[in-house]
Amino acid sequence: MSGSGFDDRRIRNQERPLLAVVAVWVLASSLLAALTWGRIMNGQPSDPDDVMRLVQVRDLIAGQGWFDLRQYRLAPPGGTLMHWSRLVDIPLFIVIKVLTPFLGQYGAEVTAMIFIPLLTLGACVAMVGMLAWRLTNREVAVFSCLCFVLYPIVMVQMQPMRIDHHGYQILAVLLSMWALSWRNAVRGGAVAGFAMAAGLLVSLELLPLAAAFGGVLFLRWLRDANDRWGLVGYMQSLGASMFALFLLTRGISDLAPHCDAISPAYLAFFLIAAVGTSILSGFGRLPTLGLVAGFAATGLAGAAFFAVTATQCLGNPFGNLDPLVYENWYLRIREGQPIWVYSWDFALPALVQPLIALFASLALWARHKDWLRRWWLDYSIVLAIAIVAGILTTRSLAFAGALGAIPLGWLLVGLLKEWGGARSIAKRIVYPLVIVALLVPMSIASAVQPHVEALSNADNDIETTKTIFDTGCDLDRSLPALDRLPTGTVFAFFDMGPDILRQTQHSIVASSHHRAGASMKDVILAFSSKPDEARTIIERHEADYVVICTDLPEARIYSELHPGDAALIDGLKNDEAPGWLQPLQLATPGSFKVWRVVD
């Protein structure tokens, strides 16, 4: 792959892959739209987090304060302070606000939920294409874009109706990687720092990647002191941008030491790191040991300040959850768990693609010299850290898949050339299979899964992955009926909560959002306790209604907490409610059950 393909891009403008990259985006967008057509036609967001995001934006449009992130209908009367960032709300707010006079609220919301994820996808595809072209050639750039859009963990975050924050995190990673390839080290570092600051304001899930980018810039400084300005630009921009974006999106009304979102303790850590980096850069060339010692001292100073001001954040950000909630909710959120909790047919192909991409990236490092050799080593380090982060938190494999698209694209182009020149029948048969396996390994895993399960007598528990949209409750039909009841507070399953907020005027006691941890514990306790104990909990929340969906996994989970104890949920599923719950006959499916709480 060496030679003219790596020449200065400024002398090969005629090779720009713009039209091909746009074509990949259009095809991917069309495929995603087709796959999600049912939800598009129903105006249904992809999952409960997307629903809650839309509810938050509606409240903002209705006049709730910009800095007021509280969801007042979640765990009333005080409501729940959400940990989400207004950065994600901005495009939704603008599109819905502008289009509502022309399309109505419903049309504006659906339009926003269709096009914002697809435009985010377009920006990501453009980043992959530009960076691949910068480093290789037009052909590799096109195949890199194909690899990107064919990695399912990436695409699920950018499908229409997916309006939560994960797509923006992927975009932040790609923008940072692209910026690090710029000739102007200070400008590239500053842009990467801004992208990481915005990404971290959206979610702390990007911390390993922010450290990875800082790490490779530190290695560049170690190689040559003249390259120190990239890290200086990165750290200064990271600290300053984070501080500015925090003030712009959160203000100063909430300066509590939150562990699950950027708070003053995190800001102080990054500002200390930025100041320390700037001071060290002023000494010019330092011995390697002195430079390492200087950064170690800077890191220790920042960590010490963080430990003193936010001691509770030194462990797992979710470690403060009540054990009942942690074990029966958090550990069941599979996308936030390690890759090994998944069945092999998902875990193996999801992990193999980034690992092969890492192998290809190291091959590119081995075959090049000068700046490209150094670049591919840096790239491989960031990709390796992204893979480790994805192994520990499965959702983070999206970052590894996005970064792995370019070396994987290079590998595929090489295989295609080998295949085209192959004379052996074996090679002409094997190479296409390898190419398909690299592009869509999950399809192969799905094809062989039934045979493997038949041999191993495996029995996947499909119910554990069922969502509220896969049940027979038919919320689009059931919730309007619930909305016709006098407005009150609903005691319901977690995954039902966001849609109750979206489609009714009712409030809810809890949902799958950990800031309402105390209410989440009460919901689990009430449904899994005996009716008299449950009554005390439900009345404490002044709930007016109890609502369940009998074929949601939550119903089974609560039943299994105390088997044989005749828990409230057991009676509710069997239409044997206690006397203080009055059944309401609504025009809803049988699995959607509603009771009024009576004296």
Percentage with pLDDT > 90 across the chain: 77
pLDDT digits (tens, 9 = 90+) for 44-78: 999 999 999 999 999 999 999 999 999 999 999 99
pLDDT digits (tens, 9 = 90+) for 345-375: 888 888 999 999 999 999 999 999 888 999 9
| The 592-597 sheet, strands edge to edge | 507-508, 489-492, 545-549, 592-597, 581-583
> Which residues does residue 490 pair with via DSSP β-bridges, in sequence order?
508, 545
The whole-number pLDDT of residue 461 equals 40
Residue 584 and residue 595 in contact, taking contact as beta carbons nearer than 8 Å: yes
pLDDT digits (tens, 9 = 90+) for 176-190: 999 999 999 999 999
What is the separation, in whole angstroms, between the first and last Cα of the chain?
77
pLDDT digits (tens, 9 = 90+) for 286-300: 999 999 999 999 999
pLDDT of 504 strictly over 90: yes
> Which residues does residue 597 pair with via DSSP β-bridges, in sequence order?
581
Residue 309 CB neighbours (<10 A):
15
Phi/psi at 490 (5° precision): -105, 130
For the chain, the structural domain boundaries read 165-409, 468-597
C-alpha 57/C-alpha 66 separation (Å) is 10
Least confident of 143-152, 165-174, 302-311, 438-447: 438-447
Confidence of residue 416 (pLDDT cuts 50, 70, 90): confident
pLDDT of 460 strictly over 70: no
Measured CA distances, 283 to 186, 220, 519 (Å): 17, 16, 54
The whole-number pLDDT of residue 466 equals 58
Measured CA distances, 242 to 194, 263, 310, 337, 451 (Å): 8, 10, 18, 27, 51
- 3-state DSSP assignment of residue 350: helix
Residue 462 DSSP label: G
pLDDT of 11 strictly over 90: no
pLDDT of 9 strictly over 80: no
C-alpha 343/C-alpha 115 separation (Å) is 33
Confidence of residue 464 (pLDDT cuts 50, 70, 90): very low
The whole-number pLDDT of residue 288 equals 93
- Tell me what the mean pLDDT of segment 523-538 comes to: 96
Confidence of residue 193 (pLDDT cuts 50, 70, 90): very high
More confident residue, 272 or 416: 272
pLDDT of 481 strictly over 70: yes
The whole-number pLDDT of residue 452 equals 39
C-alpha 491/C-alpha 568 separation (Å) is 13
Give me 213's structure tokens: 């980018």
Phi/psi at 545 (5° precision): -135, 150
Q: 43-70 burial, b if ≥16 CB within 10 A, otherwise e?
A: bbbbbbbbbbbbbbbbbbbeebeeeebb
pLDDT digits (tens, 9 = 90+) for 432-451: 777 777 777 765 545 444 43
Q: Side chain identity at 437, as an amino acid letter?
A: A
pLDDT of 527 strictly over 90: yes
The whole-number pLDDT of residue 10 equals 47
- Tell me what the mean pLDDT of segment 415-436 comes to: 76
C-alpha 275/C-alpha 304 separation (Å) is 15
The whole-number pLDDT of residue 447 equals 47
pLDDT of 478 strictly over 80: yes
pLDDT digits (tens, 9 = 90+) for 98-154: 999 999 999 999 999 999 999 999 999 999 999 999 999 999 999 999 999 999 899
Measured CA distances, 380 to 181, 356, 562 (Å): 14, 11, 49
The whole-number pLDDT of residue 422 equals 67
> Which residues does residue 71 pair with via DSSP β-bridges, in sequence order?
80
pLDDT of 20 strictly over 80: yes
Q: Side chain identity at 102, as an amino acid letter?
A: F
pLDDT of 489 strictly over 90: yes
C-alpha 282/C-alpha 234 separation (Å) is 16
pLDDT digits (tens, 9 = 90+) for 531-582: 999 999 999 999 999 999 998 999 999 999 987 678 999 999 999 999 999 9
pLDDT digits (tens, 9 = 90+) for 215-258: 999 999 999 999 999 999 999 999 999 999 999 999 998 899 99
The whole-number pLDDT of residue 455 equals 38
Residue 315 DSSP label: S
pLDDT of 425 strictly over 80: no
CATH topology of domain 468-597: Rossmann fold (3.40.50)
> What mean pLDDT is reported for the chain?
90
Give me 245's structure tokens: 């974006």
pLDDT digits (tens, 9 = 90+) for 255-266: 999 999 999 999
